[in-house]
Amino acid sequence: MDAISFKPIAISDAEILILGSMPGKVSLAQQEYYAHKQNAFWRILFNLFNENEIFNYDEKIRFLHKNKIALWDSLAYCERKSSLDSDIKHEIPNDFDAFLATFPNIKTIAFNGKAAERYYKKHIGFSDKYRYVELPSTSPAHASMSFEGKLDKWRVIL
């Protein structure tokens, strides 16, 4: 199955870029980042910023903007049978040169899981201009760490 990433969510004063690898099947079907009900991404962010959980997607985007967070994926395209990162084949990265030039206030690039970091490093590489942070995946497939454990590790983006 061909998988095509979404456009980035970002505003001009974004300071933090959070990258996933590629949206899963549920997210692709709903055309929303982190749409799977068991993915802890939104719950973690709301907890980090001491906000009540929001379920409306447009309000989630406003929440990201308010907190100067940009959201995207390391990959623009891949072939994948399932939602698992281990199934990714024939990947093509997103255009980070153009994106980061458009959003010069971004100083931290945080990876939601090892695959997001691995694909970014493979195709883009690291620069001294940014602080890079690998975070535990919020995916339900990464069940070896508790929600509280993930939340604690994610605090470094604040």
Residue 83: pLDDT over 90: no
Which of 39, 52, 67, 105 is catalytic? The answer is 39
101-149 residue pLDDT tens: 999 999 999 999 999 999 999 999 999 999 999 999 999 877 789 999 9
Q: Where are the alpha helices (DSSP H) in 80-146?
A: 96-102, 114-123
pLDDT band, very low/low/confident/very high, at 85 (cuts 50, 70, 90) = confident
Phi-psi region of 125 (alpha: psi -120 to 50; beta: other; left: phi over 0): left
- For residue range 11-51, list pLDDT tens digits in order: 999 999 999 999 999 999 999 999 999 999 999 999 999 99
Measured N-to-C along each axis, helices 41-48 and 147-154 cross at an angle, to the nearest 10 degrees, of 60
Which of 73, 59, 81 shows the shortest CA–CA distance to 21? 73
Quick one: pLDDT at residue 82?
A: 86
Q: What is the pTM of this model?
A: 0.95
Cβ atoms within 10 Å, residue 140: 13
SS3 category, 23: coil
Q: Cα separation of 135 and 112, whole Å?
A: 5
Q: In 3D, which of 50, 41, 28 has the Cα closest to residue 71? A: 41
DSSP secondary structure letter of residue 91: E
Catalytic residue status for 39: yes
Q: Where are the domains of the chain?
A: 2-157
> Could you name the CATH architecture of 2-157?
3-Layer(aba) Sandwich (3.40)
Give residues with Cβ within 8 angstroms of 66, minimum separation 6. Answer: none
- In this prediction, residue 58 carries a pLDDT of 97
Q: What is the pLDDT of residue 140?
A: 82
